[in-house]
């Protein structure tokens, strides 16, 4: 199944256009992955310019192909992320952060990913982790940077709360691979550069290819070379309510999170952000937000 992205604006400040392929109408989560944004490549100097905003009940996973971004948060963290490094922020009970492209960013290109926290840990105290020393290895016609989980005998040190996989994989021109995978996992491949086929199905650029559990390997090939973000995990069993930057389990929880943020509740402290301003939570829709999981897509 191929999930086509929708184009949205990253912020009104910069107007950077991004491709959002998850959540999808039918697929809300792939493992615990619940959000996939792809931005760039762009030469916009302020491509990433996001003022203070909150998160709850999730982890943010920031990964760059080009450029640099300065992260600041309400925990006091200040961290510049560069390509090949991982910023991992566990929102838990609530955290706020800002993000700003640095002066060195003549080209901006990357992905912003979220994972939903299981109910047992979703209200833990927030955390921030930065990883520079990540597995970087070759396997035949593949070059792999593993930022989360395990693949081909390698393991990332990144802190996670579900069985997950996240990898940046480059295919050599003419590559034909049978990639061994965990048959209990579902998987997705986001085509970032080049051309890619899954079996005989061609994946359009910036689209997300989804593979359901039950396979022990994936047949992937590229004529001219490709780069993908490869995601996987055990199917997430819980129904969630995902609205704006919050993930909860009921309409009432989301309403409470929104009200706390807009009233500047001290549970998420103020901090010296990288970008001036504070983004308010929008008005709730005029309907009840109901928990949901993945939906079986129609067969025709």
Name the residue among 114, 256, 11 with its Cα closest to residue 284.
256
Read off the DSSP letter of residue 16: -
Q: Tens-digit pLDDT profile for the chain (300 aa)?
A: 899 999 887 665 556 788 999 999 889 999 999 999 999 898 876 778 899 999 999 999 999 999 999 999 999 999 999 999 999 999 999 999 999 999 887 888 999 999 999 999 999 999 999 999 999 999 999 999 999 999 999 999 999 999 999 999 999 999 999 999 999 999 999 999 999 999 999 999 999 999 999 999 999 999 999 999 999 999 999 999 999 999 999 999 999 999 999 999 999 999 999 888 999 999 999 999 999 887 655 554
| 30, 211 contact by CB (below 8 A) | no
Read off the DSSP letter of residue 30: B
Say if 251 falls within a structural domain: no
Name the residue among 92, 95, 146 with its Cα closest to residue 115.
92
Name the residue among 223, 270, 61 with its Cα closest to residue 148.
61
pLDDT digits (tens, 9 = 90+) for 206-224: 999 999 999 999 999 999 9
Rg (CA), the chain: 19
Cα 14 to Cα 265: distance, rounded to the nearest angstrom: 28
Say if 116 falls within a structural domain: yes
Say if 47 falls within a structural domain: yes
Say if 82 falls within a structural domain: yes
- The reported pLDDT for the residue numbered 44 is 76
For residue 81, the domain's CATH number is 2.60.120.10
- Token digits of residue 89: 């922020």
Model confidence, pTM: 0.94
Name the residue among 88, 31, 93, 29 with its Cα closest to residue 57.
93
Q: Dmax over Cα atoms in the chain, in whole Å?
A: 56
Number of domains in the chain: 1
Supply the range of the domain harboring residue 20: 2-233
Say if 268 falls within a structural domain: no
Read off the DSSP letter of residue 237: -
- The reported pLDDT for the residue numbered 13 is 57
Say if 253 falls within a structural domain: no
Cα 65 to Cα 2: distance, rounded to the nearest angstrom: 23
pLDDT digits (tens, 9 = 90+) for 26-75: 899 999 999 999 998 988 767 788 999 999 999 999 999 999 999 999 99
- The reported pLDDT for the residue numbered 11 is 62
Scored b (16 or more CB within 10 A) or e, 131-161 reads beebbeeeeebbebbbbbbebeeeebebebb
Say if 123 falls within a structural domain: yes
Say if 133 falls within a structural domain: yes
């Amino acid at each position: 199944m191929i999930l086509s992205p929708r184009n949205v604006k990253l912020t009104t400040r910069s107007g950077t256009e991004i491709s959002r392929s998850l959540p999808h109408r039918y697929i809300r989560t792939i493992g615990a992955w619940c959000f996939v944004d792809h931005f760039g490549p762009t030469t916009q100097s302020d491509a990433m310019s996001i003022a203070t905003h909150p998160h709850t009940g999730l982890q943010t996973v920031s990964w760059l192909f080009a450029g640099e971004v300065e992260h600041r948060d309400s925990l006091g963290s200040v961290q510049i992320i560069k390509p090949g490094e991982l910023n991992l922020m566990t929102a838990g009970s609530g955290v706020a952060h800002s993000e700003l492209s640095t002066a060195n960013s003549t080209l901006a290109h990357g992905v912003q990913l979220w994972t939903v926290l299981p109910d047992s840990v979703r209200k833990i105290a927030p955390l921030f982790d930065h990883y520079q020393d990540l597995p970087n290895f070759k396997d035949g016609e593949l070059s792999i940077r593993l930022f989360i989980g395990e693949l081909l005998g390698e393991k990332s040190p990144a802190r996670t709360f579900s069985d997950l996989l996240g990898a940046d994989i480059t295919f050599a021109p003419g590559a034909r691979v049978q990639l061994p995978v965990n048959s209990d996992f579902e998987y997705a491949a986001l085509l970032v550069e080049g051309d890619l086929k899954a079996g005989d199905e061609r994946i359009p650029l910036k689209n997300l290819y989804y593979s359901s559990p039950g396979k022990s390997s994936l047949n992937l090939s590229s004529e001219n070379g490709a780069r993908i973000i490869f995601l996987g995990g055990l199917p997430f069993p819980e129904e969630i309510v995902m609205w704006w930057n919050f993930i909860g389990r009921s309409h009432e929880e989301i309403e409470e999170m929104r009200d706390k943020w807009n009233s500047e509740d001290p549970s998420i402290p103020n901090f010296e952000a990288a970008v001036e301003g504070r983004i308010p939570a929008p008005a709730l829709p005029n309907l009840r937000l109901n928990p949901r999981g993945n939906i079986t897509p129609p067969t025709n």
